[in-house]
Amino acid sequence: MKIIHNKISLPDLTQMAAAGFGDMVKGVVDVDRQLLALDAQLHSDLEALLLKDGSKQANLWGINLYPEAPLEDFVELDSMINIRPSVGNRSRGVENEAIQKKIFEVVEKWVKR
């Protein structure tokens, strides 16, 4: 479990996935601080790591990365931490398109494809 401070390569992500879920790596994105935390059994563990590092919960969104998938399926916006009825997000996905865009930008910033 770590906050990414240097770009991570697809082979590194593939290794991470193989050691955990097989084909997927869980991640949490801080859309405000432009941070990405990866590699835990639960999104909530990554959320806690970022909160301890100074992130605000309102800016944290759970994702899954599939390093072997085609580009259009590489990022999955699906996590229990995303359910926030108080801000209009009633699903495990990310319903706000502006937030989706920010998530993809952060992933692009930190993952070397």
Residue 93 predicted with pLDDT over 90: yes
**pTM for this entry:** 0.96
Q: Hunting for tokens 């082979």 — which residue is that?
A: 11
Per the structure, the count of domains in the chain is: 1
The per-residue pLDDT for range 27-49, each reduced to its tens digit, is: 999 999 999 999 999 999 999 99
- What pLDDT score does 48 carry? 98
Give CA–CA dist 3/107, Å, rounded: 12
Contact 80, 62 (CB under 8 A): yes
Q: Which residues pair with 26 in a beta bridge?
A: 64
Q: Look at residue 74 in the predicted model and tell me its pLDDT.
A: 97
Q: What is the mean predicted confidence (pLDDT) over 67-78?
A: 95
Bridge-based pairing of strands 35-38 and 2-3 is: antiparallel
pLDDT range class, residue 50, cuts 50, 70, 90:
very high
Sort strands 75-76 and 60-65 into parallel, antiparallel or unpaired.
antiparallel
Say if residue 113's pLDDT is above 90: no
What is the percent of the chain with per-residue pLDDT over 70, rounded to a whole number? 100
Residue 52 domain boundaries: 2-112
CA neighbor of 75 nearest in space, from 64, 91, 83: 64
